[in-house]
A = this chain, B = another copy of it.
Amino acid sequence: MLEALKKRVFEQNLELVNRDLVLYTWGNVSGIDRETNLVVIKPSGVDYDTMSAEDMVVVDLEGNVVEGKYKPSSDTATHLEIYKAFEEVGGIVHTHSTWATTMAQIGVDIPALGTTHADYFYKEVPCTRPMTKEEIEGEYEKNTGTVIIETFKKRNITAIEAQSVLVNEHGPFSWGESPEKAVFNAVVLEQVAKMAYNTMLMKNLLNKPCGMDQTLLDKHFLRKHGPNAYYGQK
């Protein structure tokens, strides 16, 4: 079942290791088949060294395991909320990558501070509000997804304008039209977060405001995305 997607999801889980985004088994990648609404996701806590494509778990959008000998990632319910809310999303990644997680621990957004950000994220990468005691003690992983969606709705940001989020005191989730694009966005996010952290640190010390020119932001995002994009071989 979904053998091609399993292989892709498996390979993107390994790509997280190659790109130095995860220690041990800390990350997880999933992909969705929009025709059957079935999600392929990494099993929970299985070593990357021994993991194979067949170990990927297939779940439906309610979280029932449809196929697989392992339990799915403990973050599965968060992935499912994102798939249900954002129809454009074909793949999702969760990591505890160093700089994105540091920003999540500080509890601040990653603001647009330069064209590297603007090439991939049109808005700030938002940091969610702290979760309530009820949300944490209830269906925690599902509620993590709910709070992510709430953040995007309240701020009026689409899933395309910021293909990543920082969960407060936790870490980043990234997504994209495919598992490959989701991992790409997670790699970009980490680099953008590292530069944003160090930019903010110095700007705060120098009392310079943290923002960037809106016209420049528009220009860079729109030359890579949208109907008039002219970057690459389009």
State the oligomeric state as a number of copies: 4
Majority-rule SS of A interface residues: helix
Chain B residues contacting A184 (CB-CB under 8 Å) are 24
Is residue A219 contacting chain B, with contact meaning CB distance below 8 A?
A: yes
How far does the Cβ of A48 sit from chain B's closest Cβ, in whole Å? 14
> How many Å lie between the Cα of A44 and that of B229 in the bound state?
12
Contact count band on A: 35 or more
Q: A152 at interface (Cβ–Cβ under 8 A)?
A: no
A230 contacts across to B, CB distance below 8 A:
74
Within 119-137 of A, Cβ neighbours of B (below 8 Å) are at: 130-131, 133, 136-137
A204 and B205 contacting across the interface, CB-CB below 8 Å: yes
- A-to-B contact residues, CB < 8 Å: 23-24, 26, 43-46, 70-71, 74, 96, 98-99, 101-102, 104-108, 113-116, 130-131, 133, 136-137, 140, 169-171, 184, 187-188, 191, 194-206, 208, 212-213, 215-216, 219, 223, 230-233
